[in-house]
Amino acid sequence: MTTKTRFAPSPTGYLHVGGARTALFSWLHVRKHGGKFVLRIEDTDLERSTAESVNAILEGITWLGLEYDEGPFYQTQRFDRYNKVIQELIDQDLAYYCDCPKERLESLREQQMQRKEKPRYDGHCRARQIDPEKPHVVRFRNPLEGGVVVDDLVRGRVIFRNEELDDLVIRRTDGSPTYNLTVVVDDSDMEITHVIRGDDHLNNTPRQINILQALGKTPPRYAHVPMILGDDGSRLSKRHGALSVMEYRKQGILPEALLNYLVRLGWSHGDQEIFSLDEMIELFDIEEVNRAASTFNNDKLLWLNQHYIKHDDPARIAHLLSPHLGDLDIDPASGPNLVDVVIAQQERARTLVEMAEISAFFYKDFDAYDEKAARKHLRPVARDVLERVRHVLAEMTVWTPESLHQAVVDIAESLELKLGKVAQPLRVAIAGRAASPGIDVTLHLVGQQACLRRIDKALNYIAQRATEN
Ligand code: GLU
């Protein structure tokens, strides 16, 4: 049988990191075993589902590169199919109509709570004949005895007793099918072999298995993945920082870094931290996923991101960096080749946002100097140095990192200064800050005209400062 997993988000928000990790595990399982990854949009909650959310989820999945082989299937387009199955269950007396009024269910619940029992439907309508023309719900006739064994690939064997489960509503009064029914029909119709999902669904599993068995279907294998906690030990939520996958993109995280980070949330392979996609596919095993919850650690994500920024192909980084420069109103076509800029900056940024910020000066004149850097390096003593540099640079006919390096070295020698005494004021003049790639590369990429313009600006600044003091 072909291995098939599915990612089945409810489109009621963005794609969050928890969902992305579940999707990644499902995707890896399929890529490893050679099968199909299905995307299913569980949009039956008409009030909370939105088209924007569907788009946000698709966008997140696409950005991460978790391409799906089938779908997206939309549950709202499958109501006829669900109703057909519900009718089949009714016809075989495996489901029944129930018209218990809300008041009755509420008082039943209160009594059970008072007796410290788990609230559950008491089967009142099991044997009643109800006119289907009148308002009703449909309930699944859950077995009264015995139990359901779930051999979960992550949790191990979990046993549920049927007496703990009640006759669950599978179609509401308004005619809409409920979650447990739609999931069962879809998992069965779509021939899902492995259901990998968050362990908040573990309690639904025995119900789903009972319905599948009533329909004469073999249940898939289940793997319930533990939840993700924030650094304070509580369930990961917005107050711990970004949750949305696309928010990470905005913050300048690379998709490969986020994937690498997510795969390590609850899974490990010795003490290896860095996994290429191919390695993940080769090494990941759903059965090795930890039972315990894992903790989200933003510093580690940044550490991985920095690793990928340093080691990825510069052309790829350039491609991903472009939109972040766009956010700063910079058109990368308006200056030096972006790949050269990336090569110069690869060691210096933890995120693409940082890289864009420290690279902006290659493309446009900055508005203001970094205050500390200017105070330290653009002082009257730097005036002679910068005037000399300006003179030399203006005369240069060959503008290469090598010729520029030589020029700076010669100037330092002729002025009997250490190299830094020339390079630092020059750097602040050109980059606006005390840190940049090597001065030769920096000058080269900024270009002759812009360099001269910025040295003039620095000289003005020094002159102005002198009059202020
Ligand atoms: N739609 C469900 C959710 O987003 C997932 C259901 C499932 O994986 O079975 O929580």
- Choose the residue to mutate in 5, 201, 208, 221 for probing ligand 1, maximizing ligand atoms within 8 Å of C-beta: 201
Which ligand 1 atom is the nearest neighbour of the CA of 7? Answer: 8
- Confirm or reject: Cβ of 76 under 6 Å from ligand 1: no
pLDDT tens digits, 209-240 = 999 999 999 999 999 999 999 888 888 877 77
User: Does 432 contact ligand 1 (Cβ within 6 A)?
Assistant: no
- Pocket lining: 201 vs ligand 1, CB cutoff 6 Å: yes
Mean pLDDT of 369-396: 97
Is the CB of 197 within 6 Å of ligand 1?
A: yes
Q: Are 136 and 98 in contact (CB under 8 A)?
A: yes
Taking the CA of residue 204 as reference, the ligand 1 atom at the shortest distance is 9
- Is the CB of residue 277 less than 8 Å from the CB of residue 256? yes
Taking a C-beta distance cutoff of 8 angstroms, is the pair 1, 190 a contact?
Answer: no
6 Cα nearest atom in ligand 1: 8
Per-residue pLDDT of 249-308, as tens digits, reads 999 999 999 999 999 999 999 999 999 999 999 999 999 999 999 999 999 999 999 999
Residue 43 CB–ligand 1 contact under 6 Å: no
DSSP calls for 302-345: HHHHHHHHHHS-HHHHHHHHHHHHHHTT--GGGSS-HHHHHHHH
pLDDT at 13 over 80: yes
Over residues 300-339, the pLDDT tens digits come to 999 999 999 999 999 999 999 999 999 999 999 999 999 9
Ligand 1 pocket member 224 (CB < 6 A): no
Locate the ligand 1 atom nearest the alpha carbon of residue 208 and give its number: 9
pLDDT computed for residue 469 by the predictor: 64
45 vs 17: CA distance, rounded Å: 22
Q: Residue 265: CB within 6 Å of ligand 1?
A: no
**What are the CA-CA distances from residue 321 to residues 27, 131, 318, 353, 403 (Å)?**
27, 64, 5, 8, 29
Centroid of ligand 1 to alpha carbon of 10 (angstroms):
6
Residue 68 and residue 192: Cα distance in Å, rounded? 14
Q: How high is the mean pLDDT of the chain?
A: 96
Percent of the chain whose pLDDT exceeds 70: 100
* 256 phi and psi angles, rounded to 5 deg: -65, -30
Q: Is 150 helix (H, G, I), strand (E, B) or coil?
A: strand
8 close to ligand 1 (CB < 6 Angstrom): yes
pLDDT digits (tens, 9 = 90+) for 420-444: 999 999 999 999 999 999 999 999 9
Q: What is the mean pLDDT of residues 172-180?
A: 95
Write down the pLDDT at residue 466. 83
- For ligand 1, is residue 10 a contact (CB within 6 Å)? yes
pLDDT of residue 139: 98
**Cβ atoms of 211 and 180 closer than 8 Å:** yes
All residues at 6 or more sequence positions from 161 whose CB lies less than 8 Å from its CB, including other chains: 146, 147
Q: Which amino acid is at 202?
A: L
Residues annotated catalytic, as ranges: 238
Distance 168 CA to ligand 1 centre (A): 17
Q: How large is the average pLDDT for residues 336-364?
A: 97
Identify which of 4, 10, 43 to mutate to test ligand 1's pocket (most ligand atoms within 8 A of the CB). Answer: 10
* List of residues 6+ apart from 81 with CB closer than 8 A: 185, 189
Query: In this prediction, what percent of the chain has a pLDDT beyond 90?
Result: 95
Contact between 194 and 26 (Cβ < 8 Å): yes
Pair type for strands 70-74 and 228-229: unpaired
**Ligand 1 mean position, distance from CA 182 (Å):** 11
Q: Which atom of ligand 1 lies nearest, measured to the CA of 22?
A: 8
The reported pLDDT for the residue numbered 238 is: 74
For 72-91, the pLDDT digits (tens) are 999 999 999 999 999 999 99
pLDDT in tens, 104-153: 999 999 999 999 999 999 999 999 999 999 999 999 999 999 999 999 99
* Ligand 1 binding pocket includes 194 (Cβ within 6 Å): no
| Per-residue pLDDT at 243 | 86
CB atoms within 10 A of CB 71: 16
Q: How far is the CA of 335 from the centre of ligand 1 (A)?
A: 48
Q: What is residue 240's predicted lDDT score, i.e. its pLDDT?
A: 79
The residues pairing with 52 across neighbouring beta strands, listed in sequence order, are none
Distance 208 CA to ligand 1 centre (A): 12
For residues 426 and 439, give the distance between their C-alpha atoms in angstroms, rounded to a whole number. 8
Indicate the helix (H) or strand (E) that contains 140: strand 137-140
Instruction: Tell me: pLDDT of 242 over 80.
Output: no
Confidence category of residue 71, pLDDT binned at 50, 70, 90: very high
- From 48, 195, 197, give the residue whose CB has the most ligand 1 atoms within 8 Å, as the site to mutate: 197
Q: Are 244 and 14 in contact (CB under 8 A)?
A: yes
47 Cα–ligand 1 center, Å: 17
CA of 75 to the centre of ligand 1 (A): 12
Q: Higher confidence at residue 199 or residue 467?
A: 199
Neighbours of 375 (CB within 10 A): 12
Tell me, what's the pLDDT at 235? Answer: 85
If one counts every other C-beta atom within 10 angstroms of the C-beta of residue 51, the result is 9
Nearest-atom number in ligand 1 for the CA of 42 is 1
Average pLDDT over residues 352-368: 97
